[in-house]
Amino acid sequence: MTSKIAADKPGSFALLNGDEAVARGAVEATVKVAAAYPGTPATEILESIAEVAKEFGIYAEWSINEIVAAEVAAGASMAGVRSMVSMKHVGLNVAADAVMTLAYTGVEGGLVIAVCDDPALHSSQNEQDTRFFAVHSKLPLLDAGSPQEAHDMAREAFEISEKLGLPVILRLTTRVAHGKARVKLGTFQKISRRADFDKNGSKWVMVPSNAIRQHRVLEGRLAEAKRLAENSGFNVLEDNGCEIGIVGSGVGYYYARSVLNTKKFSWLKLGFVHPFPEEAVKKFASKVKKLIVIEELRPYIEENIQRLCLQVSGKIQLGLEEIGEFTPDNIRQALAKQGLTTQTEKQEPVDLPPRPPALCPGCPHRAFYYALNMVNQSVNCDTDKCVGCDICEYACSFEKEKVFNPLKSRIRSVRINQTLNTAVTCKACINAPCIKACPEEAITQSKETGSIVLDETKCKGCDWCIEACKYGAITRHPTTHKAMVCDRCDGDPKCIPACPESALSLGGKSNDKIVTGDIGCYTLGVLPPVNAVQSCLCMGAGISQAAGMIHAGVKDKVFSVIGDSTFFHGGMPGLLNIVYNKANVCVIVMDNSVVAMTGHQPTPGSGKTAMGTDAKIVKIQDIAKAVGIEKVEVIDPYDIKTATAKIRETIEYNGPSVIISQRPCPLLIERGKPREIKEECNACGICVKAFGCPAISLQKDHAEIDSSLCYGCGVCETVCQFDAIRRKEK
């Protein structure tokens, strides 16, 4: 099937989303070079262009980040051809350094910067409003409210850019970018240009003496842009001779139209919003008695109208927030309060269990997080199940001393109150305080398993370790008076199968390691039951945040988790920095060789480009070694035992280290044989409560695997401590 945006049928309609519409508009306008870094909701712009690139003689690339993409587009524009760079709103922050000064140099071939904002943060970390970036950078901005506008504006933006000699920002929001609508297609323009660069132009060299001159040039261009905005066909006035006039931009304006009787109001839809078309707004204001502004996020139009000393009802008067997105519901509510429309009947809310997003079945990230959580593995007790029967104590004393004597047990049954019981044993802390407390150096920690090991020949029974343990997990032997501590029976604790209530399980949940996170699918590791990640700021931040904590003097071991594409995007400088400034961060690169979150775009590690041609595969381990990391481990996250052992090694290691957890995203490879639950299952729940695979659910007395969801990774077999999961035959 050919691409929807390739059809040479001007005047016909296609069902396009805003991103596809931008791509079509750019192709119609003969864009020659397009670059981007994937980011929801802007991804499909470059994706759609790349799909038709060969057919239309376009060069399209996934750059490693947004500033690189912006610079590639800038270079193409300097060579005289039309170029486009697209990104999500936060990507513009990354590209800002280039864009701010591009405003000074200006452009040769038309350059369009397509940016998608994300009100309500459907898939983002903030709600910044790109219209204010246009003010900040002094660049013209077109604000699309529908896929049709996105198409028309993308096409026109190249003309405006070349007329002004400036890059033009085209802004979409999520509901425009990912809303589909009937879009009327235009003709493919016939513009043929030879790429050539004028080597003598001083305007490209932004040394101070040139730059101050170019700043003056920019002001002149901005004045010209204002003239274009005043007369732009994207600012649509509908004068119905009414008292109330409604001004708006973006999709919010159309919500207002859909909840009001349009004939009873006059309308001004602003599309060319920066520079602000003051005269057009003044003209509209003179025709009505009252102005109402409808705009998502920050009050950009409202403040500009106030600057004209005009009365206006905006955010505060209408009770509309700067936070979140508009919907027809909240717009109706606001306008009904003004008496402009009717309230709708209140709907009874239904109390239903939520279905939050989760890491997919078979996801290697889940397996790795499980290994990470297991690093300080211990016998844990489910207080909902424990009845305080003390059988674990008997099992332990029999295993260790061949007697049934609870006083000789390494696990302690504890009554919290009359109805709540639990069992306490060693938590195998990282940097365990008992080790430091022992004056005889009788306590050590196993490098492989993390178990606390007591050398009874050295122990003098001073009890200092008992005082140091914040869990009360070390006890005193009633006859030898030496310390006793759980060693987890070499990884096979005998208390677990002995518990008649299946309350005990071997698990890990650290409260003595810090894990900074980053942006990608693996950010879902913050959700229960994984609970492995404690931060998420911006692309590449985790590594340097971890370093900052170490320099601040935190006592805990600090890990930083980052995806492969995020590592290429913004993690590499941070990695170099922890080598140079010596921070003992263990950086974990979750390498699934693709940008999974945004829909599987290739990365420098995939061996493919945006246009499907072969590329050199860049290995993360090579980069890590090249910047000076001396401890680099590549592991298979499905192999939880090895993964745990390697993570533990890095805890002991003095210096920055890198673990690369390597497994392709399971959505891209063929499924394995599904797993099934065997009779041995006693509903201990570890596969659901600690591992958290969405394919497994917990019934009353057993777990169940939905074979239509199971990817057959088989990691649950390792997780299960009762050998109750097997490969499904037939």
Partner 1 sequence: MNLDVVFSGVGGQGVVVLSDIYCEAAMLDGFDVAKAEIHGMAQRGGSIVAYARIGAKVESPLIETGKADAIVGFEILETARALPMLKQHGTVIVNKKYIPPNCMVAGAKPKKAEDLMALVRAKALVHEVDGIGIAQKLGNLLVVNTILLGALSALPEIPVKTVSFEQAIAGKIKEKYVNLNLKAFQLGRESVLMS
Q: Is 599 in the site for partner 1 (CB under 8 A)?
A: yes
Element containing residue 551 per DSSP (H, E): helix 541-552
Query: Which residues 6+ apart lie within 8 Å of 451 measured at CB?
Result: 426, 428, 445, 487, 488, 490
What is the DSSP track for 374-427?
GGGEEEEE-TTT-----HHHHHHHHHHHSS--GGG-SSEEEE-SSS-EEEE---
Stretch that binds partner 1, among 207-215, 461-469, 475-483, 595-603 (CB under 8 A): 595-603
| Size of interface with partner 1, in residues (CB under 8 A) | 57
Nearer to partner 1, 428 or 541 (CB): 541
Residue type, 63: S
Q: Is 701 in the site for partner 1 (CB under 8 A)?
A: no
Burial of 81 (0-12, 13-18, 19+ CB in 10 A): buried
Stretch that binds partner 1, among 231-239, 308-316, 605-613, 683-691 (CB under 8 A): 683-691
Q: Is 350 in the site for partner 1 (CB under 8 A)?
A: yes
Minimum distance of partner 1 from residue 359's CB (angstroms): 7
Q: Is 140 in the site for partner 1 (CB under 8 A)?
A: no
Minimum distance of partner 1 from residue 19's CB (angstroms): 10
Stretch that binds partner 1, among 38-46, 54-62, 209-217, 546-554 (CB under 8 A): 38-46
Stretch that binds partner 1, among 220-228, 348-356, 366-374, 640-648 (CB under 8 A): 348-356
Cα–Cα distance measured from residue 315 to residue 321, given in angstroms and rounded to the nearest whole number: 6
Contact residue for partner 1 among 514, 585, 597, 629 (CB under 8 A) = 597
Cα–Cα distance measured from residue 587 to residue 546, given in angstroms and rounded to the nearest whole number: 9
Q: β-strand 33-36 against 59-62: which pairing, if any?
A: parallel
Q: β-strand 475-476 against 483-484: which pairing, if any?
A: antiparallel
Burial of 209 (0-12, 13-18, 19+ CB in 10 A): exposed
What is the DSSP track for 3-30?
-GGG---TT-EEEEEHHHHHHHHHHHTT
Q: Is 251 in the site for partner 1 (CB under 8 A)?
A: yes
Q: Is 342 in the site for partner 1 (CB under 8 A)?
A: no
Minimum distance of partner 1 from residue 141's CB (angstroms): 21
Q: Is 89 in the site for partner 1 (CB under 8 A)?
A: no
Residue type, 434: C
The answer to whether residues 170 and 176 touch, using CB atoms and an 8 Å cutoff, is no
Site for partner 1 in 533-572 (CB under 8 A): none
Q: Is 357 in the site for partner 1 (CB under 8 A)?
A: yes
Nearer to partner 1, 159 or 704 (CB): 704
Element containing residue 641 per DSSP (H, E): helix 640-652
Binding pattern for the stretch 660-679 against partner 1, x by CB under 8 A and - elsewhere: --------------------
Cα–Cα distance measured from residue 245 to residue 340, given in angstroms and rounded to the nearest whole number: 12
Cα–Cα distance measured from residue 602 to residue 594, given in angstroms and rounded to the nearest whole number: 5
> How many residues are recorded in the chain?
730
Nearer to partner 1, 122 or 470 (CB): 122
Contact residue for partner 1 among 210, 240, 327, 444 (CB under 8 A) = 327
Q: Is the peptide bond before 41 cis (omega within 30 degrees of 0)?
A: yes
Minimum distance of partner 1 from residue 542's CB (angstroms): 17
Nearer to partner 1, 180 or 226 (CB): 180
Residues that bind partner 1 (CB under 8 A): 1, 13, 15, 40-41, 43, 122-123, 146, 174-175, 178-182, 251, 254-255, 257-259, 327-329, 332, 344-345, 347-350, 352-360, 521, 524, 527-529, 597-599, 685, 688-689, 692, 694, 697-698, 706
